[in-house]
Chains A and B, each alone.
Chain A
Amino acid sequence: MKIRTSLYLMKEAFVSLKRNALMSFASISTVAVSLLVLGAFGILGLNMGYMVSALESKVEVTAYMQDSVEGDALTQAEADIRAVSGVSEVTFVTKTEALSRFRERLGDQASMLEALDDQNPLPNAFEIKVDNPELVKPTAQAIEQMAGVETVKYGSEIVDQLFQMTKILRILGLVLLGFLVFATLFIISNTIRLTVFARRKEIGIMKYVGATNAFIRLPFLMEGMILGSVGGGVAAVALYYAYSALLYEVHQVLAFLYLVPLHPFIYIIGGALVGIGMLIGAIGSAISLSRYMDV
């Protein structure tokens, strides 16, 4: 097909969109709202993933040893811990080291320690790094079972909860995705059905003068793609402003939260929304064309 013909068909698609302005507006709005929700979910999910990986490096399991374990037994315990699957790094922290760290942390208040009378109440400990934050909990549990281990603490339960939440979010997101895609497909194919109906006379004439199926269908396909991508574009712009406002607020109040920076993240999300919109638009009009246009 010649470029000039494609341009002509594109123009026809825009004319038709303008002619059915109300319906076009309705379907663009629906697409925009759907993709906005979808995009918001995507941003939420990606941020949680981002937080998890940011916390990941900070997650450590600490195993506190019974004071009765000494010498070779400690060496053996270290070897046993290393052998647990998922463990990537083990550092031994002696009682003495632990105390001096504690003293440092106390700073001005270190004098409190004088009450201890040279006694060291802190246990020997192993600081353990784990390959994968999902393994923190099982690793901690496994180490807790080992002989000579008093207690096991791990960085935070936050990671655990984040994981649960991302899982739920993912399932929820998929359900929502299905629902929204269905809704947008429905509205777009309906819009295209109406434009096919409005232009049935033109379609008839095209057939009589020898237009091929592809030629007749192309403007409608373009129409669907325009509706979808404009809807996606609107959603992208809205998300851009919403997310930059959110980042600003979070930065003011909850600076410790790890959120994905605006650039280039939001452009990728926006591009994806426009792309998804266009794809849904194409599929929506293809559905309509196969059902309502007999060429």
Chain B
Amino acid sequence: MITLSNVSKTYSTGAVAMDDISLSIDKGEFVFIVGPSGAGKSTLMKMLLLEESPDKGDLIVNGHDLRELPKKKIPYLRRSMGVIFQDYRLLPDKTVYENVAFAMRIVEASRREMKQNIEKVLGLVGLKHKAKSFPAQLSGGEQQRVAIARAIVNNPVIVIADEPTGNLDPENSWEIMNIFEEINKSGTTIVMATHDKTIVDRMRRRVIALEKGKIIRDEAKGGYGDED
């Protein structure tokens, strides 16, 4: 599903974000990427989203070798991924429904398909009754659930989340994690960068720990560790 082979990335500022990273993630896995701030977690996420490209090494996402992928094809590959950020990134002047619909308009889904999928994902994140609300009328946790609904409405094979619980209290964080578990159960691969020790320790999933752009640990049912 995702393979990185000896990938390095240095920003033009000289910051080394990834240093000879090799890893492989299979379909249906749930993977935490942990590490202190500046370790390179977000850079790795951006690379999976094809927003940054490696200086060195090979990157294969969803069966596509980035090296052989024409730039024009990138949007189509992104449609097989859903993405969630710490700051939700909702459009403030669109309703919850329209925010989710936004992702489907881009793939030019039919009206019927749109209605069906949106109802399904809003049901999954428990926000059916808030479809007509605007983001400013929602709590942080609710906004993040809208963002998740938008990320999964096109049935992606991979969900990439960069510190999705970073701005949330523990209660809302658990609610979000439950939704991720639910999504993962249906076979969707989840790669999630996080700072949240409690979550990682309790979930017992695969943990890849980064530090200064290097992988320092890769465990199948791991905990957060003591690095932080």
Measuring CB to CB, which residues of chain A are less than 8 angstroms from any residue of chain B? 1-2, 4-5, 8, 15, 19, 201-202, 204-213, 215
Shortest distance from the beta carbon of A201 to any chain B beta carbon, whole Å: 7
Of chain A, the residue at the smallest CB distance from B84 is A208
Asked if A207 and B89 sit within 8 Å, CB to CB, the answer is: no
How many angstroms from the CA of A8 to the CA of B106 in the assembled complex? 10
Which of chain B's residues 18-74 have a Cβ closer than 8 Å to chain A? 49, 51, 72
Most B-side CB within 10 Å, residue of A2, A19, A209, A215: A209
Shortest distance from the beta carbon of A218 to any chain B beta carbon, whole Å: 12
> If the complex has contacts A210-B75, A210-B78, are A205 and B108 also in contact, measured as CB distance less than 8 A?
no
Asked if A210 and B107 sit within 8 Å, CB to CB, the answer is: yes
How many angstroms from the CA of A15 to the CA of B76 in the assembled complex? 27
Asked if B106 and A215 sit within 8 Å, CB to CB, the answer is: yes
Asked if A211 and B91 sit within 8 Å, CB to CB, the answer is: no
Asked if B102 and A205 sit within 8 Å, CB to CB, the answer is: yes
Q: Which residues of B contact A2 (CB under 8 A)?
A: 108
Asked if A208 and B91 sit within 8 Å, CB to CB, the answer is: no
**Cβ-neighbour of A201 out of B51, B81, B89 (below 8 A):** B89
Of chain B, the residue at the smallest CB distance from A12 is B105
Counting CB contacts under 8 A, is B79 at the interface? yes
Counting CB contacts under 8 A, is B144 at the interface? no
Asked if A209 and B89 sit within 8 Å, CB to CB, the answer is: no
**Cβ-neighbour of B78 out of A1, A202, A208, A213 (below 8 A):** A208
Beyond contacts A2-B108, A210-B78: 8 other A-B pairs, Cβ-Cβ < 8 A, are A4-B108, A205-B91, A206-B102, A207-B78, A209-B102, A209-B150, A210-B77, A210-B107
Asked if A209 and B154 sit within 8 Å, CB to CB, the answer is: yes
How many angstroms from the CA of A279 to the CA of B36 in the assembled complex? 52
Of chain A, the residue at the smallest CB distance from B105 is A8
Where chain A touches its partner, the secondary structure class is helix
Shortest distance from the beta carbon of A176 to any chain B beta carbon, whole Å: 41
Q: Which residues of B contact A201 (CB under 8 A)?
A: 89, 91
Asked if A5 and B108 sit within 8 Å, CB to CB, the answer is: yes
Measuring CB to CB, which residues of chain B are less than 8 angstroms from any residue of chain A? 49, 51, 72, 75-79, 81, 83, 89, 91, 93, 102-103, 105-108, 111, 150, 154
How many angstroms from the CA of A13 to the CA of B78 in the assembled complex? 25
Q: Which residues of A contact B154 (CB under 8 A)?
A: 209-210
Asked if A209 and B111 sit within 8 Å, CB to CB, the answer is: no
How many angstroms from the CA of A19 to the CA of B78 in the assembled complex? 30
Q: Which residues of B contact A209 (CB under 8 A)?
A: 78-79, 83, 102-103, 106, 150, 154
Could you give 18 example pairs across A and B, Cβ below 8 Å? A2-B108, A4-B108, A5-B108, A8-B105, A201-B89, A202-B91, A206-B106, A208-B49, A208-B78, A208-B89, A209-B79, A209-B102, A209-B103, A209-B106, A210-B78, A210-B79, A211-B106, A212-B72
Number of A-B contacts (CB under 8 A): 49
Give the top 9 A-B pairs by smallest Cβ distance, nearest first.
A210-B79, A210-B78, A209-B103, A211-B106, A210-B75, A212-B75, A208-B83, A2-B108, A5-B108
Asked if B105 and A5 sit within 8 Å, CB to CB, the answer is: yes
Q: Which residues of A contact B103 (CB under 8 A)?
A: 209
How many angstroms from the CA of A1 to the CA of B103 in the assembled complex? 15
Most A-side CB within 10 Å, residue of B76, B102, B150: B102
How many angstroms from the CA of A213 to the CA of B81 in the assembled complex? 18
Asked if A210 and B89 sit within 8 Å, CB to CB, the answer is: no
How many angstroms from the CA of A42 to the CA of B49 in the assembled complex? 53
Asked if B75 and A1 sit within 8 Å, CB to CB, the answer is: no
Of chain A, the residue at the smallest CB distance from B80 is A210
How many angstroms from the CA of A206 to the CA of B76 in the assembled complex? 12
Most A-side CB within 10 Å, residue of B75, B79, B91, B103: B75
**Cβ-neighbour of B111 out of A1, A4, A205, A206 (below 8 A):** A4
Of chain A, the residue at the smallest CB distance from B92 is A201
How many angstroms from the CA of A106 to the CA of B18 in the assembled complex? 105
How many angstroms from the CA of A74 to the CA of B150 in the assembled complex? 97
Shortest distance from the beta carbon of B148 to any chain A beta carbon, whole Å: 13
**Cβ-neighbour of B89 out of A19, A205, A211, A213 (below 8 A):** A205
Q: Which residues of A contact B102 (CB under 8 A)?
A: 205-206, 209
Q: Which residues of A contact B79 (CB under 8 A)?
A: 209-210
Most A-side CB within 10 Å, residue of B78, B93, B102, B106: B106
Of chain A, the residue at the smallest CB distance from B76 is A210
Shortest distance from the beta carbon of B88 to any chain A beta carbon, whole Å: 10
Q: Which residues of A contact B51 (CB under 8 A)?
A: 207
Q: Which residues of A contact B76 (CB under 8 A)?
A: 210, 212
Of chain B, the residue at the smallest CB distance from A209 is B103
Of chain B, the residue at the smallest CB distance from A212 is B75
Q: Which residues of A contact B150 (CB under 8 A)?
A: 209
Q: Which residues of A contact B105 (CB under 8 A)?
A: 5, 8
> If the complex has contacts A201-B89, A205-B89, A205-B91, are A211 and B108 also in contact, measured as CB distance less than 8 A?
no
